[in-house]
Amino acid sequence: MTEMVYGTVPVRTGDPILPRWWRTIDRWTMSCILILFGIGLMLGLASSPPLAAKNGLDPFHYVSRQAVFGGMAMFVMVGVSMMPPQLVRRWAVVGFALSFVALALLPVLGTDFGKGAVRWYSLGFASVQPSEFLKPGFVVVAAWMLAAGQAVGGPPGKMYSFGLTVIICTFLALQPDFGQACLVLFSWGVMYFVGGAPMFLLLGLAGIVVAAGTFAYANSEHFARRIDGFLSPDVDPTTQLGYATNAIREGGFFGVGVGEGQVKWSLPDAHTDFIIAVAAEEYGLICVAVILALYATIVVRSLTRLMKERDPFIRLAGTGLACAFGVQAMINMGVAVRLLPAKGMTLPFVSYGGSSLIAGGIAVGMLLAFTRSRPQGELADMLGRRQG
């Protein structure tokens, strides 16, 4: 009976943890993450010294901090990837609960650092953005609800998860942080679709998003200003989008040369939200294509491995994490080339930011844990044995 259910993939449960982890982990995805982090440090060396000089700091202050936070992120990523899915789910619930409380208290205890959106807690030596840590926990909790709802006699998981999504998106919109709200809603929509959502419900959800966007445009000056800037046929060359667009144009195919770029002297967020503009200007289209290929490899590899997974919770949670990771990268780069309105979203593992790096390490660690090879065999193998 065991072979019929789980196939014939050998299980060596007596192996030490590290050899078993190394044998079952998706080494391609992990390698791509390490390369992206290395590229982020390289671009940080190019983009952050002007800001450090402006603030009277050591030229490599931000690069050093990125290396420290990145090292912590890699450690967390490996640690989480070693956990079984059930343990990942338990810790995700705890992390989500803490992040949700922190998100709800932002209007009272948070700060905007002069950027017009209350998204951070200032700790003096560093800042924390709760929404970054909320996302991976939310995906796992929502996947758990959706998977539980598929069981016979299970709870109304779709309704619970949708209600939770609406509450979180409302808190994020009040900051305002419409980019993260869209990412949370997209993650839930992908999992809902994979879980077998009726098409008319998805169309209804799209209608709700359009209505919410129209309401936000009419009532939020912050949101309206960004939409108007995006829709304007002319780009003000003295804005962040103007500087980024010009830098990408100047970079061409091979770039202007290492250290020769000028956009880093003009953009205050060159090392965070617009780091892809620095890459395009100094290293050209080739570097951007490599970055795109790395993100695509991570998403495609993860989804391919999840297609073989028969546990609904693992399949839904892994799909939500992989798609959220890929879409966040797409949004960041789409903003830089003016395909999307400005969102204030980092490029995963490349942009500077402690919260982004560590939360990204947690999210990818969960994804690696869910995509590890497990003793379940192929579905065709199971059916063949039943017929035999």
Query: Could you tell me if 368 and 29 are in contact, meaning their C-beta atoms sit under 8 angstroms apart?
Result: yes
Per-residue pLDDT, 345: 85
Q: Is the peptide bond before 156 cis (omega within 30 degrees of 0)?
A: no
Per-residue pLDDT, 54: 83
Give the distance, in angstroms, between the CA of residue 386 and the centroid of all CA atoms in the same chain: 41
Give the Cβ contact number of residue 204 at 10 Å: 11
Per-residue pLDDT, 237: 65
Helix, strand or coil, per DSSP, at residue 24: helix
pLDDT per residue as tens digits for the range 266-289: 777 778 888 999 999 999 999 999
Structure tokens at 158: 């779709």
pLDDT per residue as tens digits for the range 33-45: 999 999 999 999 8
Which backbone phi and psi does 255 adopt, to 5 degrees? 85, 165
Mean pLDDT value of segment 41-59: 86
Mean pLDDT value of segment 251-270: 82
Per-residue pLDDT, 236: 64
222 by Cβ neighbours in 10 Å (0-12 / 13-18 / 19+) ranks as: middle
Structure tokens at 280: 């395009």
Q: Is 60 exceeded by the pLDDT of residue 381?
A: no
Comparison of pLDDT for 233 and 155, the residue scoring more = 155
Q: Is the full-model pTM beyond 0.85?
A: yes
Closest residue by Cα to residue 370 from 5, 18, 26, 23? 26
Per-residue pLDDT, 74: 96
Q: Is 70 exceeded by the pLDDT of residue 96?
A: yes
Query: Could you tell me if 223 and 217 are in contact, meaning their C-beta atoms sit under 8 angstroms apart?
Result: yes
Comparison of pLDDT for 225 and 37, the residue scoring more = 37
Q: Is 70 exceeded by the pLDDT of residue 8?
A: no
Per-residue pLDDT, 49: 85
Comparison of pLDDT for 98 and 218, the residue scoring more = 98
Comparison of pLDDT for 306 and 125, the residue scoring more = 306
The listed range with the strongest mean pLDDT (12-16, 75-79, 182-186) is 75-79
DSSP symbols for 144-205: HHHHHHHSTT---HHHHHHHHHHHHHHHHHHTT-HHHHHHHHHHHHHHHHHTT--HHHHHHH
Intra-chain end-to-end CA distance of the chain, in Å = 13
Comparison of pLDDT for 351 and 241, the residue scoring more = 351
Contacts of the segment 85-94: beta carbons below 8 A, 24+ positions apart: 85/311, 85/313, 85/314, 85/317, 85/369, 85/370, 88/140, 88/366, 88/369, 88/370, 89/140, 89/144, 89/313, 89/317, 92/136, 92/137, 92/140, 92/141, 92/366, 93/137, 93/140, 93/141, 93/144
Per-residue pLDDT, 40: 94
CA 20 – CA 24 distance, rounded (Å)? 6
Give the distance, in angstroms, between the CA of residue 333 and the centroid of all CA atoms in the same chain: 13
pLDDT per residue as tens digits for the range 153-173: 888 988 999 999 999 999 998
pLDDT per residue as tens digits for the range 328-347: 999 999 888 888 877 778 89
